[in-house]
Amino acid sequence: MYCKCGEINSARQMFDRMPKHNVISYNSLLSGYSQMGLFVKAMEVFNEARVVGLKLDKFTFAGALNLCGQIGDLLLGKLIHGLVIVSGLGDKVFLTNSLIDMYSKCGQVNRAALLFECSNDLDEVSWNSLIAGLLELVPMRKW
């Protein structure tokens, strides 16, 4: 609730006072920082969740991949891609879409297209993500 209202400091204080954290509380805080444009803080939350040994879910990884796309950090995005695979979530279309988006935003549309071509499970979001990435390669025309 605090994150959705833009009260990220209150959200962090509430998080810090919680006796026990779970993947949902970490995901909420990661999302809140990301929505506020505080990408470094959001990545710190992602790393904190990993360090405490939580079993990260598709929402955690999607949030981290979105951050990589927002800041254009291809190296970190590739690292998180590896973590997705190691976690056993590499075949989830939700994360395939996040990966296509991240690679496209990091200027690696060829990687996004390869991932698209190699995926067994695609949906409308997959197509839209790849199309959006490809459109970035097309120069804008003045009408």
Q: What are 34's two structure tokens? A: 């990301």
pLDDT band at 138 (very low <50, low <70, confident <90, very high): confident
pLDDT score recorded for residue 142: 64
Q: Is residue 109 part of a domain?
A: yes
What local confidence, expressed as pLDDT, does residue 127 receive?
95
Q: Which domain holds residue 28?
A: 1-55
Residues 33 and 73 both lie in one domain = no
23-78 residue pLDDT tens: 999 999 999 999 999 999 999 999 999 999 999 999 999 999 999 999 999 999 99
pLDDT at 139 over 80: no
Query: How confident is the model over 99-137, as pLDDT tens digits?
Result: 999 999 999 999 999 999 999 889 999 999 999 999 988
Average confidence (pLDDT) over 75-86: 97
114 token code pair: 């390869």
**Binning pLDDT at 50, 70 and 90, where does residue 10 land?**
very high
DSSP 115-126: HHHH-S---HHH
CB 130 within 8 A of CB 100: yes
Domain shared by 75 and 141, yes or no: yes
Q: Are residues 51 and 100 in the same domain?
A: no
Task: For residues 51 and 110, state if they share a domain.
Answer: no
Cα–Cα distances in angstroms (integers) from residue 84 to residues 12, 69, 97, 99, in the given order: 26, 16, 13, 10
Same domain, 97 and 136: yes
Rounded Cα–Cα distance for residues 128 and 143 (Å) = 24
User: How many residues comprise the chain?
Assistant: 143
Closest CA to 43 of 60, 23, 15, 64: 64
Q: Are residues 82 and 136 in the same domain?
A: yes
Give me the pLDDT at residue 140, please: 67
Asked if residue 60 is part of any domain, the answer here is: no
- Rounded Cα distance, 143 and 131, in Å: 21
- How many domains does the chain fold into? 2
DSSP state of 20: S
